[in-house]
Amino acid sequence: MDDFSKEERLMLIDYQAYLEILRHEDGRKSHLSPMIDSIIFDLDGTLWSCVDTCIEAWNQVLALKGIDAVITKEQLRSVLGLQQDELAEKLFPFLTDSERLEVIEEIYRNEVELIRRKGGQLFTNTTRVLNSLSRVHPLYIVSNCQQGYIEAFLDYHKLNALIADFESSGNTGRGKAYNLSLIIDRNTLAHPVYVGDTLGDLKACEEVGIPFIYARYGFGSDVKTLYQISDIGDLINTDILQRL
C-alpha cells in the first residue's frame, strides 16, 4: 500500500474489514443478497473521457476524405455507447451505407492510433479506485467500442495489471448484453455488477439479469435506477457495493 495516502490506506482497510464481517456473520449474511464477486465497467463516461482525442481523430479523417462535416463534442457525446452502424447512421445520414462503413472504419483506426499516442482524461481518482477494488474483486471492462480501443486505453494509462479481462462490440460484432454474458461465462462469474453511464447500459444489465450502478457523472442522462454514484470514488467511499 506504499502508493496510497494515509487516508486511502485506512479507507481500503475499512472496506476489506467490512467485507470480512459480512462473510463471517451468519445472522446478517442470511438476510443479504449474494455477495458481489466481481465488477464490470463500461469505459467512456465511466472510467474516462476521450472526447478531445476522438474529436481530433474524427475531423482529421473527414478533412482528408473531403467530407463537408465537422464533428463537435456534443455530437460525439450523443453517440457514445452506440454500436458502429447506429453511430454512423446518426452522424452521417447523407452518406450511403457503404460510404459510412468506409469512413467509420478509417476513423476508428485513426482513433486507436491517436489514443496510443495521446490517451484521454481519466476521471478523478480512477487509477486509485481501480487499485483499491482490484485487491478485493476481479475487474473487467465491457464497452461498445472498436477493436483495439480498450487495449489502447489500458496501454496508455498502464492499467493492464488491474483488468482481468475485457470485451467489445468491435471484437464480437455483438451488443453489450451479449458481451456481458460472454465475460460472465468466460470467467465463471457468479454475482457480478456492471457500472455504466447510459440507459443502454441499464437495459443490457436488465437483459442479462445483473445489478447495475449508474455513473451519474458520465455522458448519459435521465437514467432511473436504484443504485447511483456521483463519483467513481463512491465505489469505495460508500457502502453501495454491499447494498446490492
In whole angstroms, what is the distance from residue 119 CA to residue 158 CA?
11
Q: At what angle do helices 97-118 and 84-91 cross, to 10 degrees?
A: 110
In whole angstroms, what is the distance from residue 191 CA to residue 231 CA?
23
Question: How high is the pLDDT of residue 136?
Answer: 92
CA dist 3 to 85, 96, 126, Å? Answer: 43, 52, 14
Parallel/antiparallel/unpaired status of strands 212-215 and 192-196: parallel
Q: At what angle do helices 126-134 and 6-24 cross, to 10 degrees?
A: 40
In whole angstroms, what is the distance from residue 168 CA to residue 39 CA?
16
Contact 168, 190 (CB under 8 A): no
Question: How high is the pLDDT of residue 9?
Answer: 53
Question: How high is the pLDDT of residue 19?
Answer: 53
What is the set of domains in the chain, with CATH numbers? 6-49+123-243 (3.40.50.1000), 51-118 (1.10.150)
Task: Write the single-letter amino acid at 69.
Answer: A
In whole angstroms, what is the distance from residue 47 CA to residue 208 CA?
22
Question: How high is the pLDDT of residue 15?
Answer: 54
Residues 6+ apart with CB under 8 A from 222: 199
| Chain-centroid distance, C-alpha 242 | 21
Residue 9 grid cell: 490506506
Q: What is the pTM of this model?
A: 0.85
The HSE-up count of residue 173 (CA atoms within 13 Å, CB side) is 0
Question: How high is the pLDDT of residue 8?
Answer: 53
> What are the mean pLDDT values of the chain's consecutive 10-residue runs (244 residues total)?
53 52 44 74 96 95 94 88 85 92 94 96 96 96 96 98 97 96 98 96 97 94 91 94 86
In whole angstroms, what is the distance from residue 224 CA to residue 221 CA?
9
Residue 35 grid cell: 455477495
Contact 195, 170 (CB under 8 A): no
In whole angstroms, what is the distance from residue 175 CA to residue 177 CA?
6
